[in-house]
Amino acid sequence: MKRFFPENFFYNPENKKVLEDYRLIGDGKDGEVYRLTHNKCLKYFYKKETYKKELEALKIGQISPVIPRLYEYGDHYIVMEYVQGTSLARHIKKEKFLSLKLTADILDMLDELKDLGFTRWDAEIRHILINEHGDLKVIDHKRAFSTVAQVPVKLLKGLDKYGLADIFLHNMKKLNPSRYREWQLQL
């Protein structure tokens, strides 16, 4: 496997300047994401602890279709699949609708995260990506094993922001009445 960066490359903070050659596609309190190629991106982490948590979740998630492929990792960085597509947040903002099929896909995605053993199988709508084939991928897994969720509160809050939480729950009631009743008891 061809590596983008030599082992321990980012151990020296001066080497981070090389990232200026790549397009910054996202940043936040935990780090920055750069597009490396048409199908790969690099996530650079400010804190080693956050990096370790995200890497653990990505490694475990490699058997799942909803987790981006992991290509390389080193000190403070992870090279993973760049998901071509749009976030669920942008999709529903544009469409102003949530189909029965998309609801089913979201429920399947949540099941997949639970099956991986993630204790936080909830996801923010901005971290759920819909690729060019209509498949869902979830990013940002630093809390996959440190937070416990019985009901996807962050997902429902995000849907509610666009007035779609009730439609999601209505669709869910059609698709999985027993889970709907279970969630209603906890909401």
Last residue of a domain, one of 39, 56, 81: 81
The more confidently predicted of residues 187 and 159 is 159
Whether residue 141 sits in one domain with residue 90:
yes
Q: Are residues 118 and 148 in the same domain?
A: yes
**Per-residue model confidence (pLDDT) at position 186:** 80
Tens of pLDDT, residue by residue over 65-77, are 999 999 999 988 9
Task: State the residue range of the domain holding 100.
Answer: 85-186
- Give the per-residue pLDDT at 160: 96
Q: How far apart are CA 171 and CA 173, in angstroms?
A: 5
- Please, are residues 56 and 97 in contact by the beta-carbon 8 Å criterion? no
Does residue 2 surpass a pLDDT of 70? no
Q: List, edge to edge, every strand of the sheet that includes 128-131.
A: 85-87, 128-131, 136-138
Residues 122-159: tens digit of each pLDDT: 999 999 999 999 999 999 999 999 988 789 999 999 99
Overall number of domains in the chain: 2
Residue 10's pLDDT band, with cuts at 50, 70 and 90, is confident
Residues 77 and 90 in one domain: no
* Residue 4, in any domain of the structure: no
Residue 3 belongs to some domain of the structure: no
Do residue 44 and residue 107 come from a single domain?
Answer: no
Residues 120, 154: Cα–Cα separation, whole Å: 10
Tell whether 70 and 107 lie within a shared domain: no
Same domain? For 109 and 131 the reply is: yes
Which phi and psi angles does 27 have, rounded to 5°? -155, 160
On whether the CB atoms of residues 117 and 70 are closer than 8 A, the answer is: no
37 and 51 in a single domain? The answer is: yes
pTM for this structure? 0.92
